[in-house]
Amino acid sequence: MNRNKREKEYFSIDVGDSTFTVLKRYQNLRPIGSGAQGIVCSAYDHVLERNVAIKKLSRPFQNQTHAKRAYRELVLMKCVNHKNVRHVFLCLGVYVKKKKCFWSLYLVMELMDANLCQVIQMELDHERLSYLLYQMLCGIKHLHAAGIIHRDLKPSNIVVKSDCTLKILDFGLARTAATGLLMTPYVVTRYYRAPEVILGMGYQANVDIWAVGCIMAEMVRHKILFPGRDYIDQWNKVIEQLGTPSQEFMLKLNQSVRTYVENRPRYAGYSFEKLFPDVLFPADSDHNKSYSKIKCCSMCKFF
């Protein structure tokens, strides 16, 4: 895009610590979140006449790894069509003439109300907690059916609206579940890493299910299930609570890792009742209320 046309259609504005250069159709930009993959702001789209979220990807073309992650996230969020997976309406590339490339990349998406980190701190009844978990599993099932492993499921990568609808986002680390494909062990935020990832084993889509289980436990207990300080402490937290794995599992490890694991103290682990006593689980809501009134749940007070 030449400079004159860009100046007519685009404008720049500082949002938090970053400068957004976007189409003039987007106004009232406000920062709402940031992470390793980029910065997100809310905006009003005068064309669609609705509020949207705009994510500016952090240094998408700094190197090959960043470029792959940016491309992967764009393709997956553009192509995956499921109500529990966040979809990209539009991709904006700001052209830098002297570099002859798109230097800034923006993804325009549906605006949600909060991420799951905020919801975890709230007291939800049984129906609402179950409904959120159900939607999480529906979204993951759809991704796995398409041969996609998310690999970075965590509360901050799951967003919700005040009507309890849920969407999964952030596909920068997602990969195709191809058999025999060498997978990097450095995926999934530490607290939500499956044993296969922690120990450098081969893994498949089941690592996402482990992460969902950790997230569900956090929603019930209102605290992280395995809060490891590093990957060794993370493994210790897992076996202390769930017990030392079986010999069959040990045989799948490479020799050096197996030696370390076998030399650790043996733990019997805790029973489910010990980890999740009944008192932690929320009570059922009033069954006389229509399920459709979930839109008026206690989450509305937070938003």
| pLDDT tens-digit series, residues 98-110 | 454 557 788 898 8
- Three-state DSSP class for residue 152: coil
Single pTM value for the model:
0.82
**Average pLDDT, stretch 264-283?**
90
| Closest alpha carbon to 123 in 7, 278, 292, 283 | 283
pLDDT at residue 221, rounded to an integer: 92
pLDDT at residue 181, rounded to an integer: 45
- Candidate list 17, 45, 113, 152, residue with the active-site label: 152
| Residue 278 annotated in active site | no
Polymer length of the chain: 303
| pLDDT tens-digit series, residues 118-156 | 999 888 888 999 999 999 999 999 999 988 898 889 999
In which band, very low, low, confident or very high, does the pLDDT at 6 lie, cut at 50, 70 and 90? low
**Average pLDDT, stretch 244-250?**
92
* Long-range contacts at 45-48 (CB < 8 A, ≥ 24 apart): 45/108, 48/89
In which band, very low, low, confident or very high, does the pLDDT at 46 lie, cut at 50, 70 and 90? very high
Task: Return d(Cα 134, Cα 190) in angstroms, integer.
Answer: 24
**Average pLDDT, stretch 157-169?**
93
pLDDT at residue 244, rounded to an integer: 94
CA Rg, the chain, in Å? 22
pLDDT beyond 80 at 180:
no
Cα dihedral 194, 198, 201, 202 sign: positive
pLDDT at residue 73, rounded to an integer: 78
Cβ(102)–Cβ(95) under 8 Å? yes
Cα dihedral 218, 296, 131, 279 sign: positive
pLDDT at residue 96, rounded to an integer: 47
By the 10 Å C-beta count (0-12 exposed, 13-18 middle, 19+ buried), 186 is classed as: exposed
Tell me 25's DSSP state.
T
**What average pLDDT does the structure give for the chain?**
82
pLDDT beyond 90 at 197:
no
In degrees to the nearest 10, what's the CA dihedral of 170, 171, 177, 178? -160
pLDDT at residue 36, rounded to an integer: 65
How far, in Å, are 121, 130, 221, 274 from residue 279 at the CA level?
16, 16, 10, 11
The lowest-confidence range among 15-29, 112-126, 185-199 is 185-199
Structure tokens belonging to residue 60: 């998408």
